[in-house]
Amino acid sequence: DDQALLKTYQKLFTLKGFDIITCNNAAEALELLKNNPVSVVITDVIMPKMDGMQLLREIKKQYSFVEVIMLTAEGSIADAVGAVKAGAFSYLVKPADIEEMMTSVKHAQKLSNANSENERLKAQIEKGLPVFATCAGLILLAAELGNDDRRWFQTLPVTVKRNAYGRQLGSFYTEEAFQGQGVVPMKFIRAPYIESVGEGAEAMARVDGNIVAVRCGRQLGLSFHPELCSDPRLHQLFLSLVSQGS
């Protein structure tokens, strides 16, 4: 909201080839985001009415792929940690070095572009794009993680526990029943398992009482690696899900 600083940044970023839009307050910023393809927002922390932290939370709620860089003249480690926990990409203390800021913007832009692609992919999955997710892929699709605060696509209504079977040395092979397929080989490598299954999802296989395979519509999620075994049945099952919509 510092007019002189806004003009300075506009000139410097424009000279470096960035497309930049400036605004005077948080409400104006939110209005601009409705109609402009913005990937990165740089905001002061201390502003009248709606401050930078409130703006950050609102941006992350409405535009999850937009990255936010916070600027402040009175920063503390606690403030920086709080901003990053709330979703800020970085937290810079004024007067910020312009090269450092531009480097931060470039990295934030790359992350924003990747997140935007993820949003598009998530929308396609929700519309019925077939997905075969194994091990880490299951974690990416899970709606919830029992032992991690992070979330990704959240298209599969399950709660997953990461590294549930321990480290690499805990990898193992077994053969267990898989619904509709009989007994199939399963190779687990630092594998997760599914702690609970939500509405619309169906448990397809268990090992020692833990769910290790689930299906929801055209999404098939497995804790193990069927591609490391010679049995083609689970890949054939996925292909049948693909053909259902073709």
pLDDT in tens, 26-45: 999 999 999 898 999 999 88
pLDDT at 246 over 60: no
pLDDT category at 245 given cuts 50, 70, 90 is low
pLDDT at 206 over 80: yes
Q: What is the mean pLDDT of the chain?
A: 91
How many whole angstroms from its chain centre is CA 71? 24
pLDDT of residue 74: 72
pLDDT tens profile 36-91: 989 999 998 888 889 899 999 999 988 888 999 998 877 667 777 888 888 899 98
Between 193 and 61, whose confidence is greater? 193
- What's the mean pLDDT in 189-209? 97
Instruction: Give the residue numbers marked as catalytic.
Output: 135, 225, 227
Residue in this structure with the two tokens 């689930």, named with its chain if needed: 214
* Helix %, strand %, coil % of the chain (to 5): 40, 25, 35
Cα–Cα distance, 65 to 153 (Å, whole number): 12
pLDDT tens profile 227-237: 999 999 999 99
Residue 109, number of CB atoms within 10 A of its CB: 15
pLDDT tens profile 110-130: 999 888 888 889 999 999 999
pLDDT of residue 75: 64
